[in-house]
Amino acid sequence: MNRLRNLLPASLLALAALAACKKEVDTNFALQAEPGFFNVGVLNTTTATPTFSTTAFTTKYGPGKTIPITAVYNQPDNPTAITVFQVTKTDSMQVGNYPAAGTFNQTFRTTTQAISYTVPTTYALNTTVRLDVTMTFANGAQRRRRINYTIAN
């Protein structure tokens, strides 16, 4: 108990010294606005009640086949463009750049836009391809979604 009484003044003095330290905050940066809502998936309108699924992409597509990509976003977030990049182990390239010009979907209460993408015929079978679909907003912010598939018969 006596030892505790001896340590108490020293502890309070150390705490006061730490509290007196002033930290300098670096202000050499500018905060960017938060990007808006964006997602990609498969829109199924063949049923009585349309559905949108982000997990309905098939893992294998044949060369020359079209992948039914649908982008969903909120128009009030001021989207400007949708860019599609195709990436493999050996190369990458931009395969599409589309203005954000979708239509409001009453069922999902958001804007939907079909994005056309065709599986390349130049890659060998069993090549893994990654699609990076990026939405750019008017404030410069971006949101990216990825789709992976394998080229198969």
Global pTM reads: 0.72
pLDDT in tens, 83-93: 999 999 999 99
Does residue 91 lie in a domain region?
yes
Which region among 19-33, 41-55, 87-101 has the lowest average model confidence (pLDDT)? Answer: 19-33
Does residue 12 lie in a domain region?
no
Does residue 51 lie in a domain region?
yes
Does residue 13 lie in a domain region?
no
User: Which residue range(s) make up the domain with 73?
Assistant: 38-151
Strand order in the sheet with 110-118: 51-53, 38-44, 66-73, 110-118, 103-105
Does residue 23 lie in a domain region?
no
CATH number assigned to the domain comprising residue 143: 2.60.40.730
Distance CA 127, CA 129 (A): 6
